[in-house]
Chain A
Amino acid sequence: GAVVSQHPSWVICKSGTSVKIECRSLDFQATTMFWYRQFPKQSLMLMATSNEGSKATYEQGVEKDKFLINHASLTLSTLTVTSAHPEDSSFYICSWGGPGTDRNTEAFFGQGTRLTVV
């Protein structure tokens, strides 16, 4: 299967600072990447769809100025949580592929990033 590499795996930051999470496709070119957030004991929630060379598409209720997404190349998408607050503490996961994409099969996920804002 496709390999999606995400880092860091975990990060602790102070309230008010920014954190960047990287998601790389190692053996394929990703036109589209998906960014999810998962709170404990809750389902994966799609935050935004990252499109190479164009602006990301954000889901309703997700602040695009707070969660900055950059997809400058076919192998790298980044999510920056700006001015992080404790309520942003969550598990962030990127994924590639899945129904309706250029790889219309299973979705492949990065390892996830556990963000803790103190």
Chain B
Amino acid sequence: GQNIDQPTEMTATEGAIVQINCTYQTSGFNGLFWYQQHAGEAPTFLSYNVLDGLEEKGRFSSFLSRSKGYSYLLLKELQMKDSASYLCAGVDSNYQLIWGAGTKLIIKP
């Protein structure tokens, strides 16, 4: 079956760095997305990786290892507004998005 695993909840301190991990098992693979979702709102796009390696975009970076079925989202210089759920979604061979349950990130002052 297809599966996306990510931690349920993480806590970090304002100004610090946090890494949110995601492991995936999909039928075929056509990339991996990270989305941010604030409570009661729709997800917003953060990143898309299809090749191995690290992609940096401002305070956010995303890493992919296809051989390990593993990705992480790295958030630097954490701000209170970064408190949200972070969703990992894999793209299978049918180009269907397989979503993880999300990681709730709590930022403390």
Contacts and interface: CB of A to CB of B under 8 A. Distances in A.
Nearest to B91: A99
B40 A44 contact: no
B2 to A, nearest CB: 11
A109 B44 contact: yes
A101 B91 CA distance: 12
What interface size band does chain B fall in? 20 to 34
Interface string A41-79: 111111000000000000000000000000000000000
A93 B40 CA distance: 11
Interface string A1-38: 10000100000000000000000000000000000000
Contact of A99 (B40, B43, B95, B102): B95
Interface residues of A, number: 24
Given A93-B42, A99-B30, A106-B45, A44 B94 contact: no
Given A101-B95, A111-B42, A114-B40, 6 more contacts: A6-B42, A45-B99, A99-B95, A100-B95, A107-B33, A109-B42
Interface of B: 4, 8, 30-31, 33, 40-45, 48, 87, 89, 91, 94-97, 99-102, 104
Interface of A: 1, 6, 41-46, 91, 93, 95, 98-101, 105-112, 114
